[in-house]
Structure 1
Amino acid sequence: MLKAFFKEQDDVLERLQSNPLHAYLEAFATALVEDAYAASTVRSKLLWVAELGWWLQEEPLPAAQLSEHTVDRYLKELRRRGRLRRGQASTLLSFVGYLQGQGIIPRPEPVCDTSPLSELERHYERYLRTERGLTTATVVNYLPVAHRFLVQHFGDGPLRLEQLRGADIAPFVLAQARGQGVKRAQLMVSALRSFLRFLFQEAKIEVDLAACVPSIADWRLSSVPKFLTEEEVQRLLDGCDRAHATGQRDYAVLMLLARLGLRASEVVTLDIDDIDWRA
């Protein structure tokens, strides 16, 4: 599996084979592929895990002692040096969660939190693992979204799930997607749909609000062209059928845009009185 991501990079493969975490890289790569990560993303995540392995060796700490606390120490060191990259923290915590899910390293002793919020989150985690059969990496990515959604709507108060409405969904998605890349935002909306569907199936809400979660567009070539050549403008003008009123209107609008440089918003607000017929 590793060879597929580091083709013609024998020196990298050789270093990875001597990495303290090498024994787990193959399986983690497989889990990432199953979660539909792009090859370039998988490659970056594997290298981040390998860097963590070299740091463990320098400390020195055995791989068996890897935990969220250990990763937090490492991340603080990266921040101090200004070397922490986007997505690196979530990747390493996901890797720890994967190892815990496989029984390779122990899970931390659970804190006895019996709050309704924690109970619901544990119930959701069991649902993801047992009923949905999702990988640990996916579960680790989904749970924080559910937590943030609940905290935003209910804070420290009671969980009045029956009060959730479709209008509550879009503001949360917009706030969470702000500043995120397209792929990360798409993962977030997938996680939110999953959680809302879970609430509906468990009769926590009366309406399946998953349908209210907006999609994150990822169209190629979706940006507006910056300019048109003279030939392209002329083709647009020639495409107006001026034998009819609609074509005459379209031709006039395009001429205002092309010849006078008016903005579309300015053309829309033009009135008949704005035209100086004597000029």
Structure 2
Amino acid sequence: MLEFYFSYGGVLKRLRSGALGGEMDRLAGHFFSLGYKQASAKIYLSRIARFSQFAGARCGPMPISQDVIDSYLCTFTTDTPRIGAVSALGHARRVAPERFIGSAPSVDDDPDALLLASFSDYLRRVCGLEPKSREGVLLGGRRFLDWFHHHRPGQDLGALTAEHVLAAVEHRLSRSATSGTRTAATSHIRTFLRFLYWAGYHDQDLARVVPRTPHWRLAHLPPRLAWDDVRRAIDMIGATTPVDVRDRAVLLLLATTGIRNGELRALQLHDIDWRTGEVFVRRTKGKRDRVAPLIEEAGATLADYILRARPKVDSPYLFLSFTPPVGPFKCASPVSRIVQRRLRHSGIEFVGGAHLLRHSLATQLVEQRRPINEVADLLGHRSINTTALYVKVATSQLAEVALPFPGGVA
């Protein structure tokens, strides 16, 4: 497979030597299967070959240890080539894990590693939190531990007192700018303290000490766009390139079904029911599957994307990235960037990403006097109170239910 990228015999001989020489053809096939451009794949293969020569001189045919990798990375004096080497070695470890000696995280480097790992397991098994939700709570636990180690060096968590907790909360709140972040901060500390009591790290449930912070969910209007602006942004997307076709399908699906960023990324080809005109949304934020309607325009654009523009790779996911490695979107940022780029192209001033279209659809439906329970079902809200946020934007309807001003004209 290396011959697809390199033609000179001397170069091929050099690439196939060293500690990873026997794996280079597998690595070449790995980059080819991921859809990397030829120039990009050659850069990665060259980086791996340089490390292979370095490792071969130190460990020969033996598995490569973490010490060898660290020694190699120390040869770089600037960040850019070091980052490139780390990325290349990540591919090598995924393709040929048997050639590397796994290295467990050192407890000496992170004394809280085992505690936080246990906390993460508690959040998953006991609290039932999804990975994305666990990240924020784990960060809150980490920040609490950092404060405790800094202000009470050398002390065990068993010595934690209510005064310590209140001081830590005060410190955290001083660094929170909004009511939402303050509420999240205290909630994360409260969850961590409950874990300490549950796991036996402390003999008291100090979560009861953490004060409640005021946060009124309905105090602000949701960010949204006028429906004419949403329509203009979609209409300005052409159909000349595969990226244009995909982006138009993405915006139409977001704007007409109200699905979330993560739900869009999780859609698979078999989730589209073309006969009934429905989209099956799995594993939603509320952990319930739901069905969203697929309007004719969105269905036609989606069919055009699948038949004409979607990359020809073996992946069940509906929307794929055109940037190598070709495959499904792994995080929320690429989808939000698509929305932001298309809105800016149409000259729309805004703050937000993909969720902005969800807010805009909900607002449009409320202004059209659609029943609030229908809007809740479309958005996948478990509580009607969540959907009630959008009622505030229907000012014309609110004026109709206002009571007469005392002393005013009847």
TM-score range, shorter chain: 0.3 to 0.5
* Higher RCO (CA-CA < 8 Å; seq separation 6+): 2
Q: TM-score, normalised by structure 2?
A: 0.31
The answer to which structure has the higher helix fraction is 1
| TM-score, reference length from structure 1 | 0.43
